[in-house]
Amino acid sequence: MLPVFSVVAVALQPAGEVWRHLAATVLTDYVINTLLLMLGVGAGALLIGVPAAWLTSIHDFPGRRIFEWALLLPMAMPAYIIAYTYTGLLDFAGPVQTLLRETFDWTRHDYWFPQVRSLPGAIVMLALVLYPYVYLLARTAFLDQSATVTEVSRSLGAGPWRRFFTVGLPLARPSLIAGVSLVQMEALADYGTVQYFGVNTFTTGIFRVWFGMGDSTAAAQLATLLLMFVFVLLVLERVSRRQARFHHAGGRHYRPPRLVLRGYAGGLAVAACLIPLLFGFLLPAGVLATWAARTAPRVVDERFLQLVTNSLLLALGAALLALLLALLLGYGQRLRPHPLVRLAVRGAGMGYAVPGTVIAIGVMLPFAAIDRTVDGWAREWLGISTGLLLSGTLIAVIFAYCARFLAVALHSVDAGLTRIRPSMDDAARSLGVTPRAVLWRVHIPILRGSLLTALLLVFVDVLKELPATLILRPFNFNTLAVRAYELAADERLADSASFALAIVLAGVGPVILLSRAIGRARPGYDPVP
């Protein structure tokens, strides 16, 4: 929570010159662009995610089993990376436009082609990789809907379309709102895409003020405005999640036979699922692979390996630390349900909603202040300069990662802990096992899966993270994400592909893990063979 407090505290300082300048010129742009981005990405994610979820959860059509999990794959694709690939593919010199020109013998002014690097472009890019959040929650909601509700509406004469609009969709509404809120939070946090596309939003604004104008107060003020957007979404998400629980009709679950779609309808269903998968993952991944194959011999050298090691070690360190903190908090909550512990858990859970840019500034400001104080003190009393102890070191980077991704670890650990009922501790003890042995023989084996999941999820999130790393990384320290961003910013898209592909490949693992988990945890799924 420290980063959020410090940002808000700094932002409360009187507005400076830069702020007045911002307010007079670009602030309106920031607000409008950010709002448009949020709304557009939310709508796009709904449009892709809901039909896909409706089709795969209660219908059957060719490839349905594969689509069920493959539709999650775009989650592995960071938005800034998909933005690079489509730019490379669709801009004036790219293969698509070149092919068009050659085929029809056109020249530059003969045809109209949509500009990828624009606000609509950014919306499409973000929607393509963020829709899985909506898909996931909508799918769970559709699967949870009691089969009898569907059957009642059928017996009352409602056809499939009417059932979707009058029963399925309204019942799933809280889950859909929660999903869209998550998507919009991610869209707000995005820096890489909008920056690359030259769209002015809050995150790019914060960067510009921070680096370009060196005004930390104005940056904090912008960050606070951004936080207000996030806060609204957070409240929206929490409220609708709670409603989603109440909306859950309960009763006995059994799976009604899936509605089989054949011929024309089946083809449409396949298309509705294939298009997001194709454009959200297969095509960009393919493009990256092609580029990487071409440039890898040149790019993959000792420095590349150094970057990989850097990234892996950093991600692993942050993941282990986050896991440790999550375990402490989780166990604390289980053993001593103290209000303070609960508050800490709640606070840690919010970190995920705070954009990386804001976290970075929130970490930088207090750490820099501490450094200045310590340095001044050391100079005065010891006659030496301690320099930067915290800010500008890996400590700051790892701290920021933990602040942002602790929630992810906490969620997994919590889910694991709730599976260990207190009676299991008692059962073990009544079988002659001491409390410490209970930890080793019961808790850790049961938790193992959750701990690994938590570790992996944080690991990959850190690997993908861009804005916080950009702001906080020590001088001359680089990661895969940063390098991919730098190369792309230099218009060396093909060269950045190897770095990007490494990140995407690392991200595919957890997505498969996630899809396996939802495959297993189906309500009404009868484990008895």
Partner 1 sequence: MTPFLDLLDIDLAYPPRRVVEDLSLRMSCAGIGCLLGPSGCGKTTLLRAIAGFEPVRRGSIRLEGVELSRPDWSLPPERRRIGMMFQDLALFPHLTVTDNIAFGLRNWTAEERRARVRDLLRLIGLEDLAKRYPHQISGGQQQRVALARALAPRPRLLLLDEPFSSLDVTLREGLAREVRAILLQEGTGGLLVSHDQFEAFAFADEIGVLDEGRLLQWDSAYNLYHRPVDRFVANFIGQGVLLVGRVGEGGSVDTELGRIHGEPPAGCAPGALVEVLVRPDDVVHDDASPLRAEIVERVFRGAEFLYTLKLSSGARLLCLTPSHHNHAPGQCIGIRLDIDHLVVFRRGDDDGRGHKVPV
CA distances from residue 26 to 22, 184, 316, 371 in whole angstroms, order as listed: 5, 22, 39, 33
Among 97, 441, 478, 518, binds partner 1 (CB under 8 A): 441
Task: Work out whether 529 is an interface residue with partner 1 (CB under 8 A).
Answer: yes
Give the one residue of 20, 298, 338, 419 binding partner 1; rule: CB under 8 A.
Answer: 419
Under rule CB under 8 A, residue 433 binds partner 1: yes
Residue 442 near partner 1 by CB under 8 A:
yes
Residue nearer to partner 1 on the CB measure, 365 or 454: 454
State the CB neighbour count (10 A cutoff) for residue 346. 11
- Binders of partner 1 among 447-476, rule CB under 8 A? 448
Which stretch, 19-27, 143-151, 288-296, 425-433, contacts partner 1 (CB under 8 A)?
425-433
Q: At closest approach, how far in Å is the CB of 254 from partner 1?
A: 17
Interface with partner 1, residue 445, by CB under 8 A: yes
**Between 107 and 430, CB nearer to partner 1:** 430
Angstrom distances, CA of residue 194 to CA of 126, 191, 202, 209, 504: 10, 6, 10, 16, 19
Cα(401)–Cα(135) distance, integer angstroms: 27
Q: Is the dihedral of CA 130, 133, 136, 139 positive or negative?
A: negative
**Region from 74-82, 96-104, 418-426, 508-516 binding partner 1, contact rule CB under 8 A:** 418-426
Quote the CA–CA distance of 468 and 399 in Å, as a whole number. 11
Tell which one of 24, 340, 382, 431 touches partner 1 (CB under 8 A). 431
DSSP, collapsed to helix, strand or coil, labels residue 528 as coil
Compare residues 375 and 425 and give the one whose CB is closer to partner 1. Answer: 425
What residues form DSSP beta bridges with 59?
A: 259
CB distance 54 to 172 below 8 Å: no
C-beta closer to partner 1: residue 1 or 433: 433
Interaction of residue 428 with partner 1, rule CB under 8 A: yes
Q: Does 252 bind partner 1 (CB under 8 A)?
A: no
The least distance separating partner 1 from the CB of residue 450, rounded to whole angstroms, comes to 12
Calculate the alpha carbon distances from 90 to 86, 95, 129, 136 in Å.
Answer: 6, 7, 18, 30
Token pair of 106 as six digits? 């056109």
Q: Which helix (H) or strand (E) holds 469?
A: helix 467-472
Q: How far, in whole angstroms, is CA 438 from its chain's centroid?
A: 36
Residue 387, phi-psi category: left (phi > 0), alpha (psi -120 to 50), beta (remainder):
left
Return the residue of 427, 489, 505, 517 that touches partner 1, per CB under 8 A: 427
CA angle 112, 37, 238 (to 5 degrees): 150
Among 446, 451, 508, 518, binds partner 1 (CB under 8 A): 446
User: Considering only 109-117, 224-232, 234-242, 427-435, which stretch makes contact with partner 1 by CB under 8 A?
Assistant: 427-435
Question: Look-up: residue for tokens 């990140």?
Answer: 503
Least separation, in Å, of the C-beta of 521 and partner 1? Answer: 12
Encoded one letter per residue, x for contact with partner 1 by CB under 8 A and - for no contact, window 365-404 reads ----------------------------------------
Q: Give the range of 323-331, 347-355, 440-448, 485-493 binding partner 1 by CB under 8 A.
A: 440-448
429 binds partner 1 (CB under 8 A): yes
Contact between 415 and partner 1 per CB under 8 A: no
For residue 120, CA distances in Å to 41, 90, 109, 186 come to 9, 14, 22, 17
* Distance (Å, whole) CA 308 – CA 310: 5
* Nearest residue (CB) to partner 1, 443 versus 464: 443
| Residue 335 binds to partner 1 (criterion: CB under 8 A) | no
Give strand ranges (E) for 79-224.
none
Residue corresponding to tokens 């410090």: 6
Name the residue nearer to partner 1 (CB basis): 83 or 447: 447
Nearest CB to partner 1, comparing residues 384 and 528: 528
Contacts to partner 1 by CB under 8 A: 419, 421, 423-424, 426-434, 441-442, 445-446, 448, 527-529
